[in-house]
């Protein structure tokens, strides 16, 4: 499957994903989230949902950058608990 075919396939599979994400944000009381899908080393889907700054109502977009260390700092501890 080439990249264009793969992108079309992913877009078709994600038709209801926006509705699902909006419901998820509301149900979990989360102000915003970013979603990215990578296939064969290519970014094939990137979308922001909700707000990156709740007070100022700044939208969450695919261009928002977050430090990865802040989200992965507990990963080694979690993995150690599995052993």
What tens digit of pLDDT does each residue of 24-60 get? 999 999 888 888 888 778 887 888 999 988 788 889 8
Domain that holds residue 26: 3-82
What is the spatial distance between Cα 1 and Cα 7, in angstroms, rounded to a whole number?
Answer: 10
Using alpha carbons, list the distances in angstroms from residue 58 to 27, 32, 51.
Answer: 20, 10, 5
| pTM, two decimal places | 0.63
- Token representation of residue 34: 């970013």
pLDDT at 79 over 60: no
More confident: 5 or 35: 35
Number of domains the chain contains: 1
pLDDT of residue 27: 94
Please spell the DSSP secondary structure of 12-37, one letter per residue: HHTTTHHHHHHHHHHHHT-SEEEEEE
Which residue from 38, 58, 56 is spatially nearest to 48, judged by alpha carbons?
Answer: 58
């Amino acid at each position: 499957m080439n990249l264009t075919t793969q992108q079309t396939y992913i877009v078709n599979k994600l038709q209801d994903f926006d509705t699902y994400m909006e419901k998820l944000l509301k149900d979990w009381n989360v102000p915003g989230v970013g979603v990215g899908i990578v296939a064969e080393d290519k970014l094939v889907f990137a979308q922001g949902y909700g707000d990156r700054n709740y007070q100022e109502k700044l939208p969450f977009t695919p261009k928002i950058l977050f430090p990865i260390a802040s989200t992965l700092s507990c990963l080694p501890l979690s993995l150690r608990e599995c052993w």
